[in-house]
Amino acid sequence: MAKRDYYEVLGLQKGASEQDIKRAFKRLAMKYHPDHNKEANAAEKFREINEAYQVLSDPQKRQLYDAHGFAGIDGSQAGGGNPFGGGGDFSDIFGDIFGDIFGGARARQQGPVEHPGRDLRAVVSITLEEAVRGVTRKLNVKTYVKCPQCHGQGSKDGSRLSICPQCNGSGQQIIRQGFMTMSQHCSACHGTGRSNPNPCPKCKGDGRVQSQKIVEVKIPAGVDNGDRLRLSGEGEAGLQGAPSGNLIVLIEVQDHDVFTRDGLDLHCVVPISFTTAVLGGTAEVPTIDGATLKLTIKPETQTGTILRIAGKGVKSYNSSQVGNLYCKVVVQTPTNLTEEQKDLLRKFEATFEKKNKEVNTSSTKAKNKDSDKAKEENKKEEKEGIFSKFFKDLKGDDK
Ligand SMILES: [Zn+2]
Ligand SMILES: [Zn+2]
């Protein structure tokens, strides 16, 4: 039989693109694959298609073939006569081209399988204090646990499981669908490859039973909202002694009345009186561990000023880092003032007006400098008097 032109074999024109070649090969190889085409010449056809593809998909070989025909290809092979050269392995091309069709089925795990338990999830809500210092919580978990009677084995009286007669222990079952063959888990043994002629009466052969169990969760100091803890093996028990799943605990930190958290830092608001803001003083600041600190307020502190107390934040659970406590100072406006206090405030305000007037008129009064100076001395005294009385009154009102 005379050799057919490679392009003709694949049903292509000479200038066909790489993509066309691949597509044509895929289509024809599917059609003539000896596994599912039982026609007498299928194998020969498949070989022909494969050979054509081997050459046309290789740019170097294709170039030689285009220039010299079969002579170019044969001549290029050291052994001669074998156009497959060293690369004629069917499975190689298959891995390449059919990875998505056959590869998937082939790559699937063969042989018996285990049925491990699933992971369980739980949410634990804790306070910010608990998050900062750590806490232990007991969770009541309803799940599958190892059967206490057969210890997870699934068989009665510790008798051994035998080989599944339906799949001969392979755990796999071959399904034919048209020309495709697929394997799936054996329906008799669910892929385990074992049969259980004497099932444990308590778990009916599963090796696990539904139950409640108490799981102690140690929540480390420093955890944050949204952190996940993984308790290995505390999830659902596996079937017939297969490994257990894990318990995943999601940490939810409740909002705090005083503190908000940002990473390792804590933030709080510290109210101070109007007088403390002006004259300076101290303010009491609570810490997350229950202590009280004295915060120094400098004179003339503006509302909104943020003061840092180093090392009074949250200690990291995976490093030696410790956050800071940031205190936002907020000046409280005095309320429920008496008429006398209000009057003092008005006088106080008037002192600013006077001061402004003096600045504006001082240039015109340059001549009477000496007498002015004396007057100002008097005013200063007067002003101080108002100040101290006013602040004394306000302080008295302070809680
Ligand atoms: Zn049992
Ligand atoms: Zn089976």
Per-residue pLDDT of the chain (399 residues; tens, 9 = 90+): 567 889 999 999 888 888 898 888 888 888 887 777 777 787 788 888 888 888 888 888 888 888 888 877 764 333 333 333 333 333 334 434 443 333 333 334 567 888 899 999 999 999 999 999 999 999 999 999 999 999 998 998 878 888 999 999 888 888 877 777 788 888 888 888 888 889 999 999 999 999 999 999 999 999 999 999 999 999 999 998 899 999 999 999 999 999 999 999 999 999 999 999 999 999 999 999 999 999 999 999 999 999 999 999 999 988 999 999 999 999 999 999 999 999 999 999 999 877 777 666 665 555 455 555 555 555 544 444 554 555 555 554 443
The pLDDT assigned to 335 comes to 92
User: Which pLDDT tens digit goes with each residue over 115-152?
Assistant: 899 999 999 999 999 999 999 999 999 999 999 999 99
Measured CA to CA, the distance from residue 128 to residue 338 in angstroms comes to: 41
241 CA from centroid of ligand 1 (Å): 10
112 CA from centroid of ligand 2 (Å): 8
The 8-class DSSP code of residue 10 comes to T
Q: Which two tokens stand for residue 393?
A: 């009154």
Give the CA-trace dihedral at 36, 38, 40, 41, to 10 degrees: -20
The environment of the single-atom ion ligand 1, i.e. residues with CB closer than 5 A, is: 147, 149-150, 200, 202-203
Measured CA to CA, the distance from residue 265 to residue 219 in angstroms comes to: 19
DSSP percent split of the chain into helix, strand, coil, nearest 5:
35, 25, 40
Ligand number with the minimum distance to the CA of 198: 1
> What's the per-residue H, E or C state across 248-267?
EEEEEECCCCCCEEECCEEE
User: Is 6:65 a contact under the CB 8 Å cutoff?
Assistant: yes
pTM, entire model: 0.58
- The owner of tokens 């034919």 is 176
156 CA from centroid of ligand 1 (Å): 7
The 8-class DSSP code of residue 169 comes to T
38 CA from centroid of ligand 2 (Å): 30
The pLDDT assigned to 2 comes to 67
Query: What is the tally of helices (H) and strands (E) in the chain?
Result: 11, 15
The pLDDT assigned to 180 comes to 76
The pLDDT assigned to 14 comes to 86
79 CA from centroid of ligand 2 (Å): 49
User: Is 236:120 a contact under the CB 8 Å cutoff?
Assistant: yes
The pLDDT assigned to 38 comes to 77
User: Is 328:352 a contact under the CB 8 Å cutoff?
Assistant: no
166 CA from centroid of ligand 2 (Å): 5
Ligand number with the minimum distance to the CA of 164: 2
